[in-house]
Structure 1
Amino acid sequence: MTHLLSFTVEGLTCALPLAETRQVVGMVELQPETGKRRGGAGTMNLHGRAVPVYSLRRLLGLADRQPLPTDVLIIAHPTRECVALWADGVRGVQESPVELPPETDATSPPGMLLTEEEEIIIYDLGAFLAAEETAQHSLPGTAGTGEEAPPYDDGKGDEILAERARAFARPEEEAGGETPFSELLTFRLADREYAIKTQYIREVFIMHEITPVPGVPDFVAGICAVRGEIISVVDLRALFSIPKHGLTDLNRVIVLSDGTVTFGILADYITDIYIRPTDQFSPVEPETTPIEQRYLLGVTDESVLVLDAAAILGDPAMVVGQTRK
């Protein structure tokens, strides 16, 4: 099965392979277009890099409107360059039983698949962005039936968008990798739900085969190949002394990276992805988890433990059989 990031556009349910997404952020103030792109809505400054923003409303032939603070930008990478997709909101991560075409089907809108449940799956984002105008009749007749966006005072809304834009425009070194909002991917492990900021997640894939390695710490489950790259796979249960309840048949590997160190962590399954203000994390009571406080950012209102990926990746003990750049 394929993990899909599910989102909404004017009442339509759409999805994109999670492997093609980098992170989800709140809508920001956009810079004007310098040329003409189909569906082009402007550009955003992502830590000094201009990222083209595409309006999914325009790409799907729907009525256009001004950006709202409640809208989201899905940062994706159909090629080596990032793009941002402007959507109304994110619903979460799901496993799709639908078999996606291995390549663009010439009989359908390029890169897009409409399921029996009237969900639009953009399985080939590159082909979808490069396609001609999408015919209105090719979409399910549910557009405009979603919940209306909450009203915002124009001045206040513009203020929020401008402030977010300034935050994302700061160099990563200055911003410390932080934003006013945290984009979290949540996962299940040993009967508890955990979360990690998506900025440290390179990809998620189904675990096929892990090769054990002798002489490594107990928390290293082994190594595996990811598109020709050999990475270590860490079992957080062993690393943090979390009581084991056995692995399910839906084991996943979440690949973490800070640009210097890369390794995977095991998860039973992915549960969600959403945006949360950073200041809404509550302190973790030590008696509620065996995980040391230095590896925790806090706990959400839903009792999800937020792991500090930067602390985990930066721990010298995690560098096993590899050299930092």
Structure 2
Amino acid sequence: MNHSYLLFCTVAGVTCALPLAAVRQVVGMVALSPETYGHPGAAGTMNLHGRTVPVYSLRNLLGLPDRPPLPTEVLIIVSPDRDCAALRVDGVRGVQEKAVPPDGDGTGVLLTDDGTVLIRDLHALLAGDAIGRLPRLPADEEAPPETGAAGAILANRARVIGEPEEEPRETALSEILTFRIANREYAVETRYVREAFIIREITPVPGTPDFIAGICAVRGEIISIVDLSRFFSMPERGLTDLNRVIVLSDGTMTFGILADYITDIGTTPAGDLAPVGPDVTPIGERYLLGTTESSQIVLDAAAILADPAMVIRETRK
């Protein structure tokens, strides 16, 4: 059984996961043009910087109740092959490494024991092979949304994302996972993210620095949990039900960091980050790679993992 990094998303209260390797980017929902070819699950088409991209509703593909699009929804741009398509979902939750069994029944999806719809084959999913093949999913009932203001927002987004890119060129992209700490959005490169999960029981360890929240068991491995808000002297919110643990690893050092919640996953041009301005964050320059066009502060995960302060010895007090 292979292990893969998966992007977790939701539709109608149902958690779904698809291979991160097939994800190109995540964008906000836009107004769609109607499709005319009658494909199962088709929601319409979008103009992505001058390119017409088919959009599929994951609700329709899974046989869930449909609804008009909302500005809070997102589009996951995927590339199962040379072509690309977009999956319309309610939102994204984050990235996690999971075991992915082979697609034995040809539907492209599997309903796991915890109720997650695991997408194993995007080709089969987009072909509509899963429609009517899954057990009845416990979808949440949702009230009909108001569409007046929503339509204007979606139309404006469609106009912006349909504009040609100013300088079309091949640019190396870095995948980043974004999250919030102390009411500010930060990000790390996903190549350093082993997994992310809702906070579990953390066991305090006496004698450790105050930025060590404790230790936690992750699939039989005991790892330290670092509170970056304390490590970098940031305002603290305390632990809530929204807290997530993001496990960072470089192959040598592994520990988890606390985040208020995970906001998104996407890409940013590598080496094209702007310097972080003064007084924007209390985090020192040595731990920063820069800031994205969306004002997300990208942390240098390699520098954080290599910091000697993160090595906790039994004799340390």
Establish whether TM, by shorter chain, passes 0.5. yes
Give a deviation string over 1:96-138, Cα, whole Å, max 9, x none.
Answer: 2xx3134x312xx6111111101001011112212435216x2
Q: Determine which of 103, 108, 111 is the counterpart of 2:108.
A: 111
1:57 to 1:298, Cα distance in 2 relative to 1, 3 A: closer
Question: What residue in structure 2 maps to residue 80 of structure 1?
Answer: 82
Mapped to 2, the partners of 1:267 and 1:173 lie a distance apart of: 40
Q: CA deviation at 1:173?
A: 1.1
Q: Conserved in 2, the CA contact under 8 Å of 1:299 and 1:306? A: no
Q: Secondary structure at the match of 2:59?
A: helix
Question: What residue in structure 2 maps to residue 263 of structure 1?
Answer: none
Consecutive unaligned residues of structure 1, counting only runs of 5 or more, are: 178-182, 188-192, 208-242, 244-248, 254-265, 277-281, 309-325
Q: Conserved in 1, the CA contact under 8 Å of 2:55 and 2:87? A: yes
1:6 to 1:61, Cα distance in 2 relative to 1, 3 A: same
Point out the structure with the larger helix share: 1
Identity level (%): 48
Q: Secondary structure at the match of 2:110?
A: strand
Give a deviation string over 1:142-174, Cα, whole Å, max 9, x none.
Answer: 1125xx47954x321111001100110111117
Question: What residue in structure 2 maps to residue 27 of structure 1?
Answer: 29
Q: TM-score if structure 1 supplies the norm length?
A: 0.57
Q: TM-score if structure 2 supplies the norm length?
A: 0.59
Mapped to 2, the partners of 1:300 and 1:53 lie a distance apart of: 24
1:150 to 1:58, Cα distance in 2 relative to 1, 3 A: closer
Q: Determine which of 127, 131, 139 is the counterpart of 1:130.
A: 127
Mapped to 2, the partners of 1:59 and 1:116 lie a distance apart of: 20
Q: CA deviation at 1:290?
A: 3.8
Mapped to 2, the partners of 1:68 and 1:172 lie a distance apart of: 25
Question: What residue in structure 1 maps to residue 19 of structure 2?
Answer: 17
Aligned residues: 228
Q: Report whether the alignment pairs 1:288 with 2:282.
A: yes
1:135 to 1:24, Cα distance in 2 relative to 1, 3 A: same
Q: Report whether the alignment pairs 1:142 with 2:138.
A: yes
Letter matched to residue 305 of structure 1: I
Letter matched to residue 178 of structure 2: T
Give a deviation string over 1:28-58, Cα, whole Å, max 9, x none.
Answer: 0001113121111111111011110001111
Query: Which aligned runs of 4 or more in structure 1 are off by greater than 6 angstroms?
Result: 174-177, 266-271, 298-301
Q: Conserved in 2, the CA contact under 8 Å of 1:300 and 1:306? A: no
1:11 to 1:287, Cα distance in 2 relative to 1, 3 A: closer
Q: CA deviation at 1:175?
A: 10
1:129 to 1:269, Cα distance in 2 relative to 1, 3 A: farther
Question: What residue in structure 1 maps to residue 47 of structure 2?
Answer: 45
Q: Secondary structure at the match of 1:84?
A: strand
Q: Determine which of 244, 249, 252 is the counterpart of 1:251.
A: 249
Q: CA deviation at 1:8?
A: 0.8
Mapped to 1, the partners of 2:166 and 2:111 lie a distance apart of: 42
Q: CA deviation at 1:141?
A: 3.7
Letter matched to residue 105 of structure 1: G
Letter matched to residue 285 of structure 2: I
Letter matched to residue 85 of structure 1: L
Letter matched to residue 51 of structure 2: R
Letter matched to residue 60 of structure 2: R
Matches within 5 A, 1:231-310: 251=249, 272=262, 274=264, 285=279, 288-291=282-285, 296-297=290-291, 305-306=297-298
Mapped to 2, the partners of 1:141 and 1:289 lie a distance apart of: 44
Question: What residue in structure 1 maps to residue 69 of structure 2?
Answer: 67
Question: What residue in structure 1 maps to residue 163 of structure 2?
Answer: 170
Q: Report whether the alignment pairs 1:186 with 2:182.
A: no
Question: What residue in structure 2 maps to residue 322 of structure 1?
Answer: none
1:66 to 1:300, Cα distance in 2 relative to 1, 3 A: closer
Q: CA deviation at 1:59?
A: 0.7
Give a deviation string over 1:66-93, Cα, whole Å, max 9, x none.
Answer: 1111111111111111110001111222
Mapped to 2, the partners of 1:169 and 1:300 lie a distance apart of: 18
